[in-house]
Amino acid sequence: MNNKICDLLKIKSPIISGGMVWCSGWKLASAVSNQGGLGLIGAGSMLPDVLREHIKKCKQATNNTFGVNIPMMNPNSSIHIDIVIEEKVKVVFTSAGNPATYTKKLKDNGIIVVHVVANEKFALKAQDAGVDAIVCEGFEAGGHNGKEETTTLVLINQLAGKLNIPIIVAGGIATGEQILAMMVLGAEGVQIGSLFAASKESSAHDNFKKAVIDAKEGDTMLFLRKLSPTRLLKGGHYDKIQAAEQRGASKEELLGIIGKGKTKLGMFEGDMEEGELEIGQVSSMINEILSVEEIFAKLRKEYSEALARMSSISKSI
């Protein structure tokens, strides 16, 4: 096996669990790392002390590499950066901000830096900023999303061959067949969100996990293009936001509906009436709450079977 993401991150399996708000605590991250993938702690929903506690617990729960995802729009992001350096976290994923801001500081401290992008322009900018790899995330991903609405299938193919650093693909990945398909398109690894958000080890509320596995096709939709495009799951304040956008609501009105603390209310406290529920389009394909061990077994089986079927695929077209 010769996989640049596994080599870079010193992991056995090129499967990364997204650092999702209210889902990706030390339990999920360590479980993924213990399976040989890379587990990410999601700093976006953590106060500095909480992040430090999760890092410490993750170290106790796994001897394997794990990482932290730091969204730069979080007001505590510079404190989060100091904490991952102090705690000697080996891998940091930065997102929602300029990759030039922290890359040098992190790398000077021996940390591997991966930056999340949703378009070619920022992928090239991240490479120029010196990151070690990028996550390219398509329109089908849950939560915050790119303004161009480029889907994973188009984005990965557009980027492959244009970068000198390896690509991790995200958005729309929930099966081993999809992982293999993304490798055909030039990805070296995958970052999976929704499937792990609904796992047993996810910190999300059971109400949220049940809503994810009950989701049908068309039950997630991209909203909030006037603010920051965000994919929401039906339930919570989805209907209110949809109705407001249909009548042409202003930024201010939308900000009023969103309010504060709504993702915590929905995803962590389980309020399915008023909270904000963020999940990917693949939620329609997730039908049970599995453990991380079961998820890895499923993905590995599907991947192997898909690879075996390749022998009967047309040799030419």
User: Rounded CA gap, 64 and 37, in Å?
Assistant: 9
Residue 75 interacts with its own copies (CB under 8 A)?
no
- Pick out residues in 233-272 that bind its own copies (CB under 8 A): 245-249
Stretch that binds its own copies, among 9-17, 26-34, 59-67, 128-136 (CB under 8 A): 9-17
- Pick out residues in 177-236 that bind its own copies (CB under 8 A): 177-186, 217-218, 221-222, 226
Pairing mode, strands 91-95 and 230-233: unpaired
Binding map of its own copies across residues 268-287, x = CB under 8 A, - = no contact: -------------xx-xx--
Cβ atoms of 29 and 17 closer than 8 Å: yes
For residue 192, the minimal CB distance to its own copies (Å) is: 11
Residue 120 interacts with its own copies (CB under 8 A)?
yes
Q: Which of 117, 121, 151, 148 is nearest to 135 (CA)?
A: 117
Q: For the chain, how many residues are written?
A: 317
User: In sequence order, what are the beta bridge partners of 220?
Assistant: 233
- Pick out residues in 35-64 that bind its own copies (CB under 8 A): none
Nearest residue (CB) to its own copies, 159 versus 265:
159
Helix (H) or strand (E) holding 42: strand 38-42
Backbone angles phi, psi at 90, to 5 degrees: -85, -25
Who contacts 259 (Cβ-Cβ below 8 Å, separation ≥6)? Answer: none
List contacts with its own copies (CB under 8 A).
1-3, 13-15, 119-121, 138-140, 147-154, 157-158, 160, 172-186, 217-218, 221-222, 226, 245-249, 281-282, 284-285, 299-300, 303-304, 306-307, 309-310, 312-317
